[in-house]
Amino acid sequence: MRRRDFFTIVGGAAALVPFAAGAQPSPMRRLGVLFVLGEDHPEVPSFVAALKDGLRSHGWIEGQTIHMEFRFCRSDANLVKRYTEELVGLQPDIIFAQGVVGAAAMKQATQTIPVVFVQVQDPVGGGFVTNLARPEGNLTGFTNFEYSIVGKWLQLLKDVSPGVSRVMALINPDNRPRWNGYTAAFENYAPAAGIKPQMAGVHNENDIEREIAQFAAQPDGGLVVLPDATTGVHTKLIVGLAERYRLPAVYPGGFYARAGGLIAYSDSLRGQYRSAASYIDRLLRGTRIGDLPIQTTDRFETVINLKTAASLGLTIPPALLAIADDLIE
């Protein structure tokens, strides 16, 4: 069952300007594509399809007008380094980078090849750009979450499980600006929700298992899984541990709820990939990076797994059911 409900966050980016009518793509161009996630991640095929569909809508057909070199890193730091170097070494016209880790790797590896990124939180705080309206380097793209979304995640958790009084947030701690941003947001929003927050830095399966098991030893706990390559790669593990320890959890992507997680609230990720294709198109046609502002998310979706709610003995409020975009039954 699907319903549509769009939530808007204010963004300072200008609207896209269509390319002049009648213009034709140049002969075969080259695009490097770096995914921090692996091919086996449940959402990656749809992300790839959205990127290709977006390019196709602008006349860039894989194998005909554009050659695409894909690399999938499976959240492995060694593969990120290796594949970044490979793609830069191929000297493509443009590189597409997924996530904070991908964008950071490309920023370090090249200052000349244009890079379009998606799924990057806080591009200024992360050091990717200093001006959202006119990026000054070789990177631009699309940002998904502002830290204020933490307030929404906490409210959703209280809506579905009013007894929650403790929350643990899971994320890889290596990106310190992002860690600090989320930490400050939890400290800001949690008291008003009657929740005591704690951050859990995780790098691998052992970290995730240990942190969740220790947290679950005390009652009235809930999880907020933050957007990150590490948490994304270990979707099934996190969802399974939340089920084992009967912890209500809020997730940053619909794929978590479709994999058995309780509830997810996130931006429309596929929309970002299609939008990224429009930036790639404009760069291939000669637009400068500085004329392509960082754009913010303007579409969000709520996905609720009713089977998981029932197994946890939770009743989803009718008002929340009414605004859900997807109900898993």
Q: What is the mean pLDDT of the segment spanning 189-215? A: 97
Residues in the chain: 329
With respect to residue 156, please indicate whether it lies within any of the assigned structural domains: yes
218 and 292 together in one domain: no
The DSSP secondary structure of 65-124, one letter per residue, reads: TEEEEEEE-TT-HHHHHHHHHHHHHT--SEEEEEHHHHHHHHHHH-SSS-EEEES-S-TT
138 and 233 together in one domain: no
Burial class from Cβ neighbours inside 10 Å (0-12, 13-18, 19+) for residue 19 reads middle
**Residue 87: band (very low, low, confident or very high) from pLDDT cuts 50, 70, 90:** very high
Rounded to the nearest 5°, which phi and psi values hold at 50?
Answer: -65, -40
With respect to residue 10, please indicate whether it lies within any of the assigned structural domains: no
Please identify which residue in the block is written with the tokens 């929350």.
167
248 and 235 together in one domain: yes
With respect to residue 99, please indicate whether it lies within any of the assigned structural domains: yes
**pLDDT tens figures, 60-81:** 999 999 999 999 998 899 999 9
**Token pair recorded at residue 278:** 């429009």
204 and 229 together in one domain: yes
**Residue 229: band (very low, low, confident or very high) from pLDDT cuts 50, 70, 90:** confident
Answer with the residue of higher pLDDT: 104 or 299: 104
**pLDDT tens figures, 143-183:** 987 889 999 999 999 999 999 999 999 999 998 888 999 99
**Residue 22's pLDDT is what?**
41
135 and 252 together in one domain: no
With respect to residue 107, please indicate whether it lies within any of the assigned structural domains: yes
**Token pair recorded at residue 82:** 């290796």
**Residue 17: band (very low, low, confident or very high) from pLDDT cuts 50, 70, 90:** very low
**Residue 25's pLDDT is what?**
47
**pLDDT tens figures, 239-278:** 999 999 999 999 998 989 999 999 999 987 888 899 999 9
206 and 164 together in one domain: yes
**Residue 4's pLDDT is what?**
36
226 and 94 together in one domain: no
CB neighbourhood size of 77 (10 A): 14
**Residue 43's pLDDT is what?**
86
With respect to residue 216, please indicate whether it lies within any of the assigned structural domains: yes
With respect to residue 117, please indicate whether it lies within any of the assigned structural domains: yes
Q: What is the mean pLDDT of the segment spanning 26-45? A: 90
**pLDDT tens figures, 277-325:** 999 999 999 999 999 999 987 778 999 999 999 999 999 999 999 999 9
Query: What count of Cα atoms within 13 Å lies in the side-chain half-sphere of residue 155?
Result: 10
Answer with the residue of higher pLDDT: 305 or 232: 305
**Residue 276's pLDDT is what?**
96
**Residue 7's pLDDT is what?**
31
206 and 116 together in one domain: no
**Residue 10's pLDDT is what?**
31
**pLDDT tens figures, 107-143:** 999 999 999 999 998 899 889 999 999 999 999 999 9
191 and 214 together in one domain: yes
> Domain of 281?
29-145+268-299
Residue type at 151 in one-letter notation: G
**Token pair recorded at residue 71:** 């690399």
With respect to residue 175, please indicate whether it lies within any of the assigned structural domains: yes
CATH number at 238 reads 3.40.50.2300
173 and 259 together in one domain: yes
Q: Per DSSP, what are the bridge partners of residue 69?
A: 32
Classify 299 as helix, strand or coil: coil
For the chain, percent of residues with pLDDT exceeding 90: 78
**Given a cut of 90, is residue 9 above it in pLDDT?**
no
194 and 311 together in one domain: yes
With respect to residue 63, please indicate whether it lies within any of the assigned structural domains: yes
Number of structural domains the chain divides into: 2
Rounded to whole angstroms, the Cα distance separating 183 from 42 reads 28
182 and 317 together in one domain: yes
**Token pair recorded at residue 150:** 């933490």
**Residue 11's pLDDT is what?**
35
**Residue 145's pLDDT is what?**
74
